[in-house]
């Protein structure tokens, strides 16, 4: 930090100039590319679209539109305003992405703009008609600080260091997740075992549908309202599920997602699975279903809003090993699960701490007083 502070004190003690993006960048939009187009023109060059998973890659084609240092951003949808940096890469973008190319790299660097936009674009996303957007006209008017190049480069160096450290930790965590998946597959592989009884969930479990509720219908409280998303959507003063509960999201983008709650919750657009505890431990059933998540996602119905049905789960086959074996498997998988998912211990905690530290320094480094005319 001292090196940057010295540079600022020496080079811009009275603040820095701010400029709108269209003054310092060329702004383009992508072109329409369907999944069929990607299939018919499959190749090695990435196409970026409106998603953020997989680094924003929508697919790969046999040609490219851009091969220079640039920034792309998502213009439409839930991820509107997400930004990506590109260097030494040949790629294309779809019509729900935009692209920025610096006009004069003796004035400002692409990587510096990328880091600035990482904390500013979300503030300019509009959500009219329920579809978040950050279109080119709004992006072009975002004001960006333009400190001296020496300051920009030192800030980029510091933030790149943070990013590289986090990437190393993420790679190690991903290796542990693969290891976890490997052992989970082995522990839950019961096919071919003559000593294991199998039954359908409809035979050994009951299903309960959630209760319809809106946020306006809730009362103040700390009970998570669990629906069709990985995290609670809001909180309520009452619960309709207690103790160990297996939850399956019923509809929407996360339909079929299996989660486990060991606390009071209020279940709404989802259903819960309650196995006979004389035969199966809920946590064991959760791990078994989680291991079958890909198959469960294949059970979705509907061409519009995807959904899963209780009746399909009633015929879902599940093994019934002895309770002591179930307990042993659960104990092993709980340890693995904590190591790769618990934000309070191990690598997840370290990554979370790094992200908080990075966010703190990024916001501090990229906050400049604006130079005023005298």
Q: What secondary structure does DSSP assign to 130-151, as a single string?
A: G--B--HHHHTT-EEEE--HHH
* Structural contact between residues 113 and 144, judged by C-beta atoms closer than 8 angstroms: yes
Amino acid 77: pLDDT: 84
- Read off the pTM: 0.67
**Per residue in 45-75, pLDDT tens?**
999 988 777 778 999 999 999 999 999 999 9
* Structural contact between residues 77 and 50, judged by C-beta atoms closer than 8 angstroms: yes
What is the mean predicted confidence (pLDDT) over 226-232? Answer: 85
DSSP letter string, 355-370? HHHHHHHHHHHT--PB
- pLDDT of 366 higher than 70: yes
More confident of the two residues 263 and 365? 263
Amino acid 343: pLDDT: 61
Residue with tokens 């809001």, as numbered in its chain: 234
More confident of the two residues 11 and 28? 28
User: Where exactly are the structural domains of the chain?
Assistant: 1-16+147-179+327-374, 18-146, 197-320
* Structural contact between residues 315 and 207, judged by C-beta atoms closer than 8 angstroms: no
* Structural contact between residues 56 and 74, judged by C-beta atoms closer than 8 angstroms: yes
- Distance from C-alpha of 223 to C-alpha of 221, rounded to nearest angstrom: 6
Q: Which residues contact 158 (CB under 8 A, 6 or more apart)?
A: 4, 361, 365
- Distance from C-alpha of 87 to C-alpha of 327, rounded to nearest angstrom: 50
Amino acid 79: pLDDT: 86
Give the residue among 285, 249, 295 at the shortest CA–CA distance from 270. Answer: 249
Amino acid 344: pLDDT: 64
* Structural contact between residues 93 and 72, judged by C-beta atoms closer than 8 angstroms: yes
Amino acid 129: pLDDT: 64
Beta strands in the chain (DSSP E): 17-20, 25-29, 42-48, 57-61, 70-74, 83-86, 92-93, 97-102, 143-146, 197-200, 205-209, 223-226, 234-236, 244-249, 258-262, 266-267, 270-275, 317-320
- pLDDT of 13 higher than 60: yes
**Percent of the chain beyond pLDDT 70?**
97
**Per residue in 262-274, pLDDT tens?**
999 999 989 999 9
**Per residue in 22-45, pLDDT tens?**
999 999 999 999 989 999 999 999
What is the mean predicted confidence (pLDDT) over 91-103? Answer: 95
Topology (CATH level 3) of domain 197-320 = Adenine-n6-DNA-methyltransferase TaqI; Chain A, domain 2 (3.90.220)
**146 phi and psi angles, rounded to 5 deg:** -125, 75
Give the residue among 73, 51, 49, 78 at the shortest CA–CA distance from 61. Answer: 49
- Kindly tell me the number of DSSP H helices and DSSP E strands found in the chain: 12, 18
Could you check whether 18-146 and 197-320 share the same CATH topology?
yes
CATH architecture of 18-146: Alpha-Beta Complex (3.90)
Res. 373 pLDDT band, cuts 50 70 90: low
**Per residue in 163-180, pLDDT tens?**
888 888 888 888 888 888
- Distance from C-alpha of 147 to C-alpha of 14, rounded to nearest angstrom: 11
Res. 305 pLDDT band, cuts 50 70 90: confident
Residue 82 buriedness (CB in 10 A; 0-12 / 13-18 / 19+): buried
- pLDDT of 200 higher than 60: yes
- pLDDT of 248 higher than 60: yes
Using the CB atoms, write b or e for 200-231: b if 16+ within 10 Å: ebeebbebeebeebeeeebeeeebbbbbbeee
**Per residue in 129-157, pLDDT tens?**
668 899 999 999 999 999 999 999 999 99
3-class SS of residue 254: coil
Average pLDDT of every residue of the chain:
89
């Amino acid at each position: 930090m001292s090196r940057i502070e010295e540079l600022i004190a020496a080079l811009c003690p009275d603040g820095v100039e701010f400029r709108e993006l269209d003054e310092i960048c060329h702004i383009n939009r992508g072109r329409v590319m369907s999944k069929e187009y990607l299939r018919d023109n499959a190749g090695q060059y990435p196409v970026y679209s409106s998603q953020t998973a997989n680094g924003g890659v929508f697919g790969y084609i046999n040609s490219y539109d851009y091969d220079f240092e640039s920034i792309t951003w998502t213009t439409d949808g839930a991820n509107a305003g997400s930004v990506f940096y590109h260097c030494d890469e040949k790629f294309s973008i779809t019509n729900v992405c935009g692209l920025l190319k610096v006009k004069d790299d003796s004035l400002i660097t692409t990587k510096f703009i990328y880091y600035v936009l990482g904390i500013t674009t979300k503030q300019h996303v509009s959500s009219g008609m329920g579809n978040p957007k950050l279109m080119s006209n709004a992006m072009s008017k975002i004001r960006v600080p333009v400190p001296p190049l020496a300051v920009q480069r030192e800030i980029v160096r510091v933030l790149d260091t943070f990013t590289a450290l986090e990437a190393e930790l993420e790679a190690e965590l991903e290796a542990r997740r693969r290891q976890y998946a490997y052992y989970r597959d082995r522990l839950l592989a019961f096919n071919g075992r003559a000593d294991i009884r199998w039954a359908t969930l409809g035979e050994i479990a009951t299903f309960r549908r959630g209760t319809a509720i809106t946020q306006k219908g809730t009362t103040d409280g700390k009970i998570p309202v669990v629906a069709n998303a990985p995290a609670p959507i809001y909180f309520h003063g009452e619960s309709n599920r207690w103790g160990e509960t297996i939850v399956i999201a019923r509809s929407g983008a996360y339909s079929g997602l299996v989660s486990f709650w060991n606390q009071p919750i209020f279940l709404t657009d989802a259903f819960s699975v309650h196995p006979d505890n004389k035969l199966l431990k809920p946590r064991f059933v959760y791990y078994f279903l989680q291991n079958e998540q890909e198959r469960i996602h294949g059970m979705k119905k509907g061409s519009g809003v995807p959904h899963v049905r209780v009746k399909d789960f009633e015929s879902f086959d599940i093994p019934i090993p002895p309770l002591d074996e179930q307990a042993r498997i659960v104990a092993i998988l709980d340890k693995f699960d904590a190591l790769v998912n618990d934000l309070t211990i191990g690598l997840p905690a370290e990554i979370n701490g790094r992200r908080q530290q990075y966010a703190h320094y990024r916001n501090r480094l990229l906050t400049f007083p604006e130079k005023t005319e005298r």
